[in-house]
Amino acid sequence: MSVSREAAETIGVQAMGWLAGNDELLPVFLGSTGASEADFRAGLTDAAFQGSVLEFLLMDDRWVVSFCDDVGLAYDVPVQARAMLPGGEQVHWT
């Protein structure tokens, strides 16, 4: 299954909602990125910010599993969505 850009943005917003509801992880995200709560809210319409949330989520398999289980996605969908958002392109070093 391939995720479209529009679907990727929807998944990014879902990830932001999931993260906003996680009292333990939201402060970790904000602290590691330097983003404020206002930046987080403003990021709802910013595909690059949504991508950064997905990138953060993808750092830990437990977070991916929890997010996917909560919103009803297959476990490989977040990485596909990340690839469709700005900055998610695969880098080829050769």
Joined together, the tokens standing for residue 9 give 């943005």
d(CA 88, CA 13): 16
Per-residue pLDDT for 1 more than 90? no
Q: Look at residue 88 in the predicted model and tell me its pLDDT.
A: 66
d(CA 77, CA 89): 15
pLDDT in tens, 15-64: 999 999 999 999 999 999 999 999 999 999 999 999 999 999 999 999 99
d(CA 25, CA 63): 9
Per-residue pLDDT for 91 more than 80? no
d(CA 12, CA 82): 8
Q: Look at residue 12 in the predicted model and tell me its pLDDT.
A: 96
Q: Which residues contact 20 (CB under 8 A, 6 or more apart)?
A: 26, 40
For residues 64-70, average pLDDT: 98
